[in-house]
Amino acid sequence: MTVGALFDEAAGGYDEARRRLVPGLDELYAALLEGLPFKKEEPIKVLDLGAGTGLLSAEISGRFPRARVTLVDLSVEMLRVARRRFAREPHRFEFRVMDFARKDLPAGYDLVASALSIHHLTDGDKRETFEKVHGALVPGGLFVNLDQVLGASPEEEAGYEEWWLRRVREAGASEEELAGAFRRMRADRNATLADQLRWLEEAGFEGVGCARGDHRFAVYGGRKGIASSYNGKERHG
């Protein structure tokens, strides 16, 4: 099954299950938002890669009320939910059904953000995507990715697996939700945080860093053309 088909199938119950399936999601979103250097009233242009039902776009557009957001996803059904979410403000949101690993990205963005999507790409496609994201940003623009990472050793990876399963069961995920998550996880292509930070630097990003790491999940990114650290150094697990 393709990634698009997997998420077409998941779109209906996606928002409802999200918090149960991503332990610490609120803290991860908070770390991402806190690292954004824009003033509240700035009319920033934002590109959300793998935007799905629009959860991350909602957080960003809520924090920056004049932001205009382009939501990109290859799942028609996930974007259908996103269109409904933002239907009251059509002038602020644009939707594009496309595979961001295969197509050129639109350009001129102050912020390219992504959540839980890039880990579906092969390592080669991740590296190419980082280069394309660099090209899509204006000078001084920021890229931030909230995503899954691979453990740096088999032991660390096994620890991430054990931690995730324990936390999602504690959160009350149903057997059906877990079965759906396991089906989607077969399409995961996680890479280590260290590799991805290096690929960002190789793609030309500056101030590359990780704002928050919590076992399987991390918030990391870099800036185009400004030599300052992306964010703090918080890391758990």
Ligand X SMILES: C[S@@+](CC[C@H](N)C(=O)[O-])C[C@H]1O[C@@H](n2cnc3c(N)ncnc32)[C@H](O)[C@@H]1O
Position 100 contacts ligand X (CB under 6 A): yes
Count of residues for the chain? 237
Are 211 and 24 spatial neighbours (Cβ–Cβ below 8 Å)? Answer: no
Contacting range for ligand X; rule: CB under 6 A; set: 31-39, 94-102, 189-197, 223-231 = 94-102
Restricting to residues 7-26, which ones interact with ligand X according to CB under 6 A?
7, 18
Residue 44 or 71: the one with the smaller Cβ distance to ligand X is 71
Q: Which of 31, 47, 74, 133 binds ligand X (CB under 6 A)?
A: 74
Out of 4, 106, 159, 225, the only residue in the binding site for ligand X (CB under 6 A) is 4
Torsion 137-140-145-151 (CA) sign: positive
Q: Which one, 72 or 219, has the nearer CB to ligand X?
A: 72
Distance CA 34, CA 1 (A): 36
Of 55, 137, 149, 181, the residue at the interface with ligand X (CB under 6 A) is: 55
Number of chain positions touching ligand X (CB under 6 A): 21
Please report whether residue 73 would count as binding ligand X according to CB under 6 A. Answer: yes
Nearer to ligand X, 118 or 193 (CB): 118
177 binds ligand X (CB under 6 A): no
| Distances, alpha carbon 143 to alpha carbons 77, 130, 197, 209, in Å | 26, 9, 12, 11
**Position 51 contacts ligand X (CB under 6 A):** yes
| 106 sits near ligand X (criterion: CB under 6 A) | no
H-helix or E-strand spanning residue 33:
helix 25-34
d(Cα 210, Cα 55) in Å, to the nearest integer?
Answer: 21
Helix, coil or strand: residue 212: strand
DSSP-derived secondary structure letter, 100 = T
Stretch that binds ligand X, among 39-47, 69-77, 137-145, 172-180 (CB under 6 A): 69-77
Beta strands in 29-98 (DSSP E): 45-49, 68-73, 93-97
Give me the residues that bind ligand X (CB under 6 A), please: 3-4, 7, 18, 50-52, 55-56, 72-75, 78, 99-101, 115-117, 120
